[in-house]
């Protein structure tokens, strides 16, 4: 059990940070109820209607002006609360994802992120009279597929932000993340039906094309660098064994830690699709979507979050060697951004698994959700209270290294 209100927060602003932790603790039931409800009703990317409604309701109850839907996405939220000190203070963004994984549920634990983001926002709202600027909560759909944050960026919903903060659950605690550039690729092969026994020679087999593509990708992997990934599933593989399939489809993802190399991989993957179609006399349609970029961790923010975390006895375990991808990396190209992860499960628990899904409603996950809310709120409070810190974060953003 983490002692949320027993620990002495990190300097500076220890008293305000203590009150933020107490505010999270006071709203414990409301925050955890949100986490559990979202977990019990998993909704995939772009379909988070219940989750976004519940998140919006809590924010409205705590005095936020809520836009829902926000921009072009039905399940996006932008909720704001102005600080009582007025003036031109910073706009600090608290982000929350709430999409689940098809066929698995909350195997990425976004229920804990949604609840902690709301917890951070309402804790800050309880100190609004002491803040300049504006608290900006952004409910960001479609992280697992589609890069909803990029759509929200294009919709102007990140305009004017001075920082973007969130927390993600993990099997280890680390403040910096190095996600891979990534895209989804939908591949559809079209052939010609015929009887698979009486006159197969009249058909054009779209399944053969798909099998060739998977084989080519498997052979290609030997030549890929360790931090490149290509992986996929078959969505449609034909309809009956006695029909030559005239349509098959797959969903792939391509990833790399190097954006230049990523472009080379993208072209090569496209060539493998064309080659499979050529070999089977079929045609192919290849659609890339939902691009995520590589991350620019803002070190000024990283240092502050790390210090706040250490006060609660949580050490930074260092960069995660096993990276996925996230559209938070796209946000990191727009304003100073961090993507800290906190452990809710034992080390080695695989992400996107039943084990991780079950961990996301464990008593440990609940305590970490509350702690994450306090840490995000405390880091945001520092930014609200110290213009030099915001300036330093922007300096780092404009000239990294």
CB atoms closer than 10 angstroms to residue 386: 15
CB of 157 to Zn ion, least distance (A): 20
DSSP codes of every residue in 167-216? -EEESS-BS---PPEEEEEEEEEE-B--BTTT-GGG-B-HHHHHHHHHHH
CB of 139 to Zn ion, least distance (A): 14
Residue whose CB is less far from Zn ion, 108 or 180: 108
| Size of the residue set binding Zn ion (CB under 5 A) | 1
Residue whose CB is less far from Zn ion, 175 or 393: 175
Residue whose CB is less far from Zn ion, 62 or 145: 145
CB of 331 to Zn ion, least distance (A): 14
DSSP assignment, residue 317? -
CB of 168 to Zn ion, least distance (A): 6
DSSP codes of every residue in 84-137? TTEEEEEEEEEEE---BBTTTBSTT-HHHHHHHHHHHHHHHHHTGGG-EEEEEE
Name 70's bridge partners. Answer: 73
CB of 46 to Zn ion, least distance (A): 15
CB of 101 to Zn ion, least distance (A): 7
359 in contact with Zn ion (CB under 5 A): no
Residue whose CB is less far from Zn ion, 257 or 327: 327
Residue whose CB is less far from Zn ion, 108 or 365: 108
Q: Is the dihedral of CA 136, 139, 143, 148 positive or negative?
A: negative
CB of 149 to Zn ion, least distance (A): 12
Name 337's bridge partners. Answer: 164
Tokens of 69: 């839907």
CA max distance for the chain: 82
Residue whose CB is less far from Zn ion, 92 or 108: 108
**Quick check: 395 and 336 in contact, CB under 8 A?**
no
The footprint of Zn ion on residues 103-162 (CB under 5 A) is: 108
Buried b / exposed e across 145-182, counting CB within 10 Å, b at 16+?
bbbbbbbbbeeebbeebbbbbbbbbbbbbbbbbbbbbb
Residue whose CB is less far from Zn ion, 17 or 357: 357
Q: Which residues contact Zn ion (rule: CB under 5 A)?
A: 108
């Amino acid at each position: 059990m983490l002692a949320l209100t027993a620990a002495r927060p990190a300097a500076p602003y220890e008293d305000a940070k203590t009150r933020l932790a107490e505010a999270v603790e006071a709203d414990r039931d409301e925050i955890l109820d949100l986490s559990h409800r979202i977990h019990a009703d998993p909704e995939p990317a772009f379909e988070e209607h219940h989750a976004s409604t519940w998140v919006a309701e809590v924010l409205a109850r705590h005095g936020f002006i809520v836009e829902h839907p926000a921009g072009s996405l039905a399940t996006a939220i932008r909720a704001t609360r102005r600080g009582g000190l007025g003036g031109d203070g910073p706009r600090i963004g608290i982000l929350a994802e709430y999409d689940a994984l098809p066929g698995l549920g909350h195997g990425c634990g976004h229920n804990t992120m949604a609840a902690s983001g709301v917890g951070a926002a309402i804790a800050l709202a309880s100190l609004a009279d002491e803040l300049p600027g504006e608290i900006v909560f952004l409910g960001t759909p479609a992280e697992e597929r589609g890069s909803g944050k990029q759509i929200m960026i294009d919709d102007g919903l990140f305009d004017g932000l001075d920082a973007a903060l969130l927390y993600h659950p993990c099997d280890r605690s680390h403040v910096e993340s190095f996600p891979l550039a990534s895209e989804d690729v939908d591949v559809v092969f079209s052939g010609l039906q015929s009887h698979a026994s009486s006159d197969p020679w009249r058909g054009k087999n779209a399944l053969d094309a798909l099998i060739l593509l998977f084989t080519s990708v498997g052979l290609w992997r030997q030549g890929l660098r360790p931090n490149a990934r290509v992986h996929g599933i078959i969505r449609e593989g034909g309809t009956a064994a006695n029909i030559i399939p005239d349509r098959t489809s797959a969903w792939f993802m391509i990833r790399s830690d190097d954006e230049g190399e990523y472009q080379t991989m993208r072209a090569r993957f496209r060539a493998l699709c064309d080659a499979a179609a050529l070999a089977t006399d079929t045609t192919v349609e290849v659609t890339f979507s939902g691009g995520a970029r590589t991350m620019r961790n803002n070190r000024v923010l990283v240092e502050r979050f790390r210090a706040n975390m250490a006060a609660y006895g949580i050490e930074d375990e260092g960069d995660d060697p096993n990276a996925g991808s996230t559209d938070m990396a796209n946000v990191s190209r727009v304003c100073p951004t961090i993507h800290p992860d906190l452990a809710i499960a034992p080390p080695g628990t695989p992400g996107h698994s039943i084990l991780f899904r079950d961990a996301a409603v464990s008593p440990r996950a609940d305590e970490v959700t509350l702690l994450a809310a306090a840490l995000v709120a405390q880091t945001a409070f520092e930014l609200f209270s110290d213009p030099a810190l915001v300036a330093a974060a922007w300096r780092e953003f404009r000239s990294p290294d």
